[in-house]
Amino acid sequence: MTQENPSQNLKPVLKPVDAAGVHQLYLAGEWTASADVVEVLSPYDRHIVGRVAMATPEQLERAVAASVRAFAFTRKLAGYERQRALAFVARGLAERAEEFAQCIMAEAGKPIRTARAEVERAAFCFQYAAEQATRLTGEVLPLDALPVGANRMGILRRVPLGPVAAITPFNFPLNLVAHKMAPAMAAGCSIVLKPATQTPFSALLLATLVADSGYPREAVSVLPMTNQTASPLVEDERFKLLTFTGSSSVGWAMKSRAGKKKVALELGGNAGCIVHSDADLDKAAARCVAGGFAFAGQSCISVQRILVQKSVYAAFLEKLAAAVGKLVVGDPSAETTEVGPMIRPEDAARAEEWIAEAVAGGAKFVCGGTRQGSIVAPTVLTGTSESQKVNCQEVFAPVVTVEPYEDFEEALQKVNRSPYGLQAGVFTSDMGRILRAYEELEVGGVIAGDVPTFRIDHMPYGGVKDSGQGREGIAYAIEEMTEPKLLVLG
């Protein structure tokens, strides 16, 4: 790495976990203690998963100042240096995959098989970012469209934006951190990241790899902290980009406070899925079950509203109910578990209230509807109205509604009658209908022949309306974290 970078000589002054078992902050390349310590509880049975240090305002200020200093070095790193650091992290994730998966399972309550898939995705993110680190191409521009531009040319390239403030949620405690950190490193930015307080350990475990990757140590901080302490991530003008994944109300409120910095928001949704009469109903039902109930529906693109053409409505509902009935619900550590707990009992109770509201308004259970602690049984409702919370808001729980429609245009209109617009799924064998859906649906992505929950980590991903602005997907996130810079030659 670059010899003049002083942060390369830093050595952690504490271990990631101290003698009392407290997980330390990763502050500008050093494992750092804090007097403020909180317990993290298992979503499944509420036992103590671990104890984590919480950053103070003074410690956050140290991290911000370090990120500004470090950017002077990261912005000058050669592509191969950034690539080498990212590839190191990718290899570490692959080599320690089970350790990371067990961490995700413990703190997030994610079924272990799903947790392992998340680790694979995170490793891919860092590997793909490593490849993109050497592909930051530009343009050569002819400038002779006017006489004054004769014998001149422009060279345009993308340069790193500056220090990045990143805030991530609980539902993908490793992979959504990867979607912030890997592009930042590939772009040559410094980053201060706040993981969700319910799930801080995956991000801190990732920091143990980043610490040894060769990327300038001062350039990366991972700081669990309260929302109040984290206010400078939103408001401090030393950050040039705020990238946030979380709820819509919180994200848009942050944007209003963010000042001049760029803001990338990946927010919520109540994803709609259309099943037309010419679809493969067995496939559609199976995919809607996977898309609606994986990780207890706690995904912003989880299937929430299923619209089925009337002539196949009864047949589809029967197949869906049969598939839901086979789901294994319970302990996330069990290899057979498919649906585990919601993140907190109060979130499960909120979902239960929304279900009860729908039933009081005339909805009927196809299956589910019960709750035990943090576990909500996979629930399918029919006879709902568009104004009920299970339809018009983001339920973020293992709950789907299934309603009939007459014609395809009606289904498109129903999907669009939502304040959200993240992704939508369309099951039909008619290419004309697929293209019509692509043209008319007000969403960031239309998934043909599959559920809106489909995501591959390098594709452009993001929403419109209340679902956000900007795009993730490694190369697209790198674009958010860089800006064009022009040289005119004559």
| Active-site residue list | 266, 300
User: Cα 298 to chain center, whole Å?
Assistant: 11
Which residue in this structure is represented by tokens 């990238």? 243
**Element of type H or E holding 193:** strand 191-194
| Paired residues of 164 in beta bridges | 191, 241
**For residue 452, what are the CA distances in angstroms to 15, 141, 170, 401?**
42, 39, 20, 15
Name residue 41's beta-bridge partners: 48
Tokens of 67: 């990120």
Q: How far is CA 123 from CA 100, 127, 128, in A?
A: 11, 6, 9
DSSP line for 256-299: HH-TTSEEEEE-----EEEE-TTS-HHHHHHHHHHHHHGGGG-S
Rounded CA-CA distance 239/64 in Å is 8
> Nearest 10 degrees: CA dihedral of 285, 291, 292, 298?
170
d(CA 76, CA 289): 48
Q: Which of 317, 297, 293 is nearest to 307 (CA)?
A: 317
SS3 labels along 417-471: CCCEECEEEEECCCHHHHHHHHHHCCCCEEEECCCCCCCCCCCCECCEECCEECC
DSSP 3-state of 23: strand
Which residue type, as a one-letter code, is found at position 352?
E
At residue 305, what are phi and psi to the nearest 5 degrees? -115, 115
DSSP 378: P
**Paired tokens of 441:** 């649906």
- For 438-441, the CB contacts below 8 A with 24+ separation are 440/412, 440/416, 441/412, 441/415, 441/416
Instruction: Find out whether 348 and 378 touch, Cβ atoms under 8 Å.
Output: no
